[in-house]
Amino acid sequence: MILVIAEQKNGTLNRASWETIAIAQQMAGGQPVKVAIPGGAVGPVAQELAAAKVAEVVRIEHEALEPYTPDGFTLALSAVIGQLAPQYVLLPHTYQTRDFVPKLAARMGRALVTDCTAFRPEGGALAFARPMFQGKLVAQVVPEGDAPHFVTFQIGAARADAVVKGDAPAAVTTVPVTVARAAIRQQPEAPFQEAKQAVDLSQAERIVAVGRGIKSQENLELARKVAAAFGAELAASRPICDAGWLPMERQIGSSGQTVAPKLYVALGISGAIQHLVGMKGSRTIVAINKDAEAPIFEVADYGIAGDLFEIAPALIAELGK
């Protein structure tokens, strides 16, 4: 049996959960797929998940699971997983997953393969593809030791609409858990946004984004001119915002905004996974980077391997014609 742990917040399902269910269905090859949904009150979300063609949706409900804490989730899920005894436990590679699954896998003494993009049969077992070395290489990894094996899948590893729906809703059951509040050592406060987003990059038709290759804050002026020439909004990869060269609200990627404009021009961005997940849905992607092997070129439609300090001025001149 393959068990997917879905994710919800305040009764809203994280849509990456559908992607992971789709992968579980593709992996299953005859074995049943079950979906577990942990939280304080998950009835409506469980019903929503029951639309998928799965053997069962399992509610893991306890008042101590709301709000989310890694201690609470580890206690509840280690008990339920022990009871259900799946072969694989699959999760979307979200920030929440990263926060508790290593602890859960360690507590159960089981393998955890993170941030996977694909699976394939390999000598009777399954091997999982995951990026390594900032996406410069892809590893085929096999989990070892006793089942269950925990595997997390990168956001976008499958399409949410690839989920096979059932003819009738799947059975929804509840597995009782006990979680002692006293055993939870983290006291979380309510989530908040730093400042109201002044720029909504998701609405921009064209975006010019700049990365480490720009080298200094002074050189941002050049990127601004490129953006102006394209009639585009200026955005950046994380390191530029970390350095304070551009405000955080202009950051594209898993910790910033997710965009899918008509045109995305990546200037001096190598293309770490965290950046790619925020922009790979763009219709046309242009990458300009000195390193011809940079991962950004894997998602680009048009690439120029060269010095951006030579190409950018030429591009501004050409667009001005």
Partner 1 sequence: MKIAVCIKQVPTREWQPRLNDTKTWIRDQDASYEMNEPDAYALEEGLRLKEKHGGEVVVCSAGPARAAQVLREALARGADRAIHVEDEQIGAADAFVVTEALAAAMREEQFDLVLTGLQSDDQGFAQTGVILAERLGMPHATIIMEVQAADGRLRVKRELEGGWFQWIAMSLPAVLTIQSGINQLRYATLKGIMAAKKKEIRKVAAPAGLSARQRILKLDFPEKGKKTQMIAGGPEEAARELVRRLREEARAL
User: Is residue 8 a contact residue for partner 1 (CB under 8 A)?
Assistant: no
Helix (H) or strand (E) holding 284: strand 284-289
Q: Which of residues 277-306 bind partner 1 (CB under 8 A)?
A: 283-284, 286-287, 291-293, 295, 297-306
User: Is residue 141 a contact residue for partner 1 (CB under 8 A)?
Assistant: yes
Which of 79, 206, 222, 260 lies at the binding interface for partner 1 (CB under 8 A)? 206
**CA atoms of 6 and 49, how far apart (whole Å):** 9
Q: What length is written for the chain?
A: 321
Number of chain residues interacting with partner 1 (CB under 8 A): 94
Residue 112 has, within 13 A of its CA and on its CB side, a CA count of 18
Interface segment toward partner 1; rule CB under 8 A; list 50-58, 82-90, 105-113, 164-172? 105-113
User: Is residue 142 a contact residue for partner 1 (CB under 8 A)?
Assistant: yes
Is the Cβ of residue 221 or residue 321 nearer to partner 1 in the bound state?
Answer: 321
Which of 29, 30, 191, 198 lies at the binding interface for partner 1 (CB under 8 A)? 191
The three-class DSSP label of residue 185 is coil
Is the Cβ of residue 111 or residue 170 nearer to partner 1 in the bound state?
Answer: 111
User: Identity (one letter) of the amino acid at 157?
Assistant: A
> Minimum distance between the CB of residue 242 and partner 1, rounded to whole angstroms?
3
Phi and psi at residue 103, in whole multiples of 5°? -65, -45
Is the Cβ of residue 34 or residue 93 nearer to partner 1 in the bound state?
Answer: 93
- Distance set, CA 173 to CA 34, 59, 80 (Å): 11, 6, 12
The three-class DSSP label of residue 21 is helix
Is the Cβ of residue 58 or residue 266 nearer to partner 1 in the bound state?
Answer: 266
DSSP 205: S
> Minimum distance between the CB of residue 173 and partner 1, rounded to whole angstroms?
29
Is the Cβ of residue 41 or residue 118 nearer to partner 1 in the bound state?
Answer: 118
User: Is residue 187 a contact residue for partner 1 (CB under 8 A)?
Assistant: yes
Is the Cβ of residue 167 or residue 310 nearer to partner 1 in the bound state?
Answer: 310
**CA atoms of 299 and 259, how far apart (whole Å):** 14
Number of other residues whose CB lies within 10 A of the CB of residue 311: 18
- Distance set, CA 33 to CA 28, 69, 122 (Å): 7, 26, 21
Which of 49, 115, 116, 233 lies at the binding interface for partner 1 (CB under 8 A)? 115
Q: Which of residues 239-278 bind partner 1 (CB under 8 A)?
A: 239, 241-244, 248-249, 254-258, 262-263, 270, 273
Which of 39, 131, 148, 268 lies at the binding interface for partner 1 (CB under 8 A)? 131
**296 touches 268 (CB < 8 A):** no
**209 touches 237 (CB < 8 A):** yes
